[in-house]
Amino acid sequence: MKARSTAGGALGYKSRALIVCLVLLLYGAASVQAFSFTPMVSHIDADRRPARVTYTLQNDTPRAIAVQVSAHVREIDEMGNEVMQPTDELMVYPSQIVLAAGRSQEISVDWTGGSVDRERAFRVVAEQVPVNLGSSQDSRAQLRVNLEYVTSLYVRPAQARARTEVSGIAFDDAEQMLVFRLENTGTRHILLRDLSVLIHPPREGESLQIPGGELNAGSNVLPAGGSRVVRIPWDSSDINASNAHEYRIEVRH
C-alpha cells in the first residue's frame, strides 16, 4: 500500500483538520451530505487493558451513507512534512459502515502493540465512500460532498512528558535566517504553537521573543523523539555565520 503524504503539512493535517472534497454531478439542485466523527484528538494508555479509544460516527444527512475508517502511523520529518503509513498495530472495528439517516455508530480502535517507551503518533481517518445507496432518481442531479476526517491519536506510556533541547545554531547569510534544530527528547509530543522561544545575544542586549506560532512550519506537532529545523528571518547586522553559535536560545513551554 502507498504512503499518504502532506508536503509541508499541506492543508495542515492539524489536530482538527477536516478535508472536504466537492464532486459536481450534472443537472440541477444540490444536496449536501455530511457526517461527524469524534473525537478529533485522543490518546490510549498503552499499558491499560483494554487499550482502546471509542469514536462516534454520526450521520446528519437525510439518507444512508457509507464510511470507511482506517488507522495509519504518523511520521513527521525535521522539515515538518508528514507521511501516513498503514499500520496493523491498531485494530479498527467496524472499519466499514453503512449508516442510516440520522443514526450514530460507535467505532472501537484497539492498540495491539504492547508497551511503549515513548509516545507513538497515529492518524485515524474516516472517509465517506462514494457509493450510491439511494434510488437512481434521487442520485441523478446533485452536488455531492464527500468528507474525510483526519484525527490525531497518540499511544503513550505512563507519565509521559515532553522535553525540549536546542542544537545546531547557525546563520544563513544568503537568506538572512537564524537556523537551529529543536529536539523533543521527552516521551510525549509537543504542539509548537504552545511554545515560545527567547533568543539571547552573546553580550548585553535585548533578547528577542518568538511566539510558537512562528515556529509552525509544516506540522504543528513535534513528536516524542522528533526534531524540527527552525528558520527565523533575522535582518540585524549583529549576527552572522561566524558568531551565530554564541547566541543562546531558550525554549519555554
Alpha helices in the chain (DSSP H): none
Environment class of residue 128 by beta-carbon count within 10 Å: exposed (0-12), middle (13-18) or buried (19+)?
buried
The whole-number pLDDT of residue 25 equals 35
Same domain, 170 and 122: no
Give the closest residue to 251 by CA, choosing from 176, 160, 180: 180
Over the chain (253 residues), what is each successive 10-residue block's mean pLDDT?
47 40 33 81 95 97 94 96 96 97 98 96 95 57 72 97 94 90 97 92 83 82 95 79 86 89
In this predicted structure, what is the pLDDT of residue 170? Answer: 92
pLDDT value of residue 26: 32
Give the pLDDT score at 12.
46
Per the CB < 8 A criterion, the answer to whether 25 and 136 are in contact is: no
Enclosing domain of residue 116: 4-156
Q: What is the pLDDT of residues 147-204, one digit of tens each?
A: 899 999 999 999 999 999 999 999 998 888 899 999 999 999 999 999 999 998 887 7
pLDDT on residue 131: 74
Q: Which of 156, 173, 199 is where one domain is finished?
A: 156
| Amino acid identity at 63 | R
pLDDT at site 240 = 76
Domain C-terminal end among 121, 156, 191 = 156
My answer on whether 143 and 235 are in the same domain is no
Structure confidence at residue 208 (pLDDT): 86
Pairing of strands 41-45, 104-111: unpaired
Residue-level pLDDT at 18: 39
> Which region, left, alpha or beta, applies to residue 166 given φ > 0 means left and ψ of -120 to 50 means alpha?
beta
Q: What is the dihedral of CA 207, 211, 214, 220, to 10 degrees?
A: 140
The half-sphere exposure of 143 on its side-chain side, counting CA atoms within 13 A, is 9
> Going by C-beta distance under 8 Å and a sequence separation of 6 or more, which residues neighbour residue 196?
209, 210, 211, 212, 251, 252
Q: According to the model, what pLDDT value does residue 228 have?
A: 94
What amino acid occupies position 111? W
* 208 in Cβ contact with 201 (< 8 Å): no
For the record, the C-alpha cell of 56 comes out as 462516534
Tell me what pLDDT residue 245 has: 84
Residues 14, 133: one domain? yes
Same domain, 49 and 100: yes
pLDDT score at 99:
96
Domain count, the chain: 2
Cell of 49: 487493558
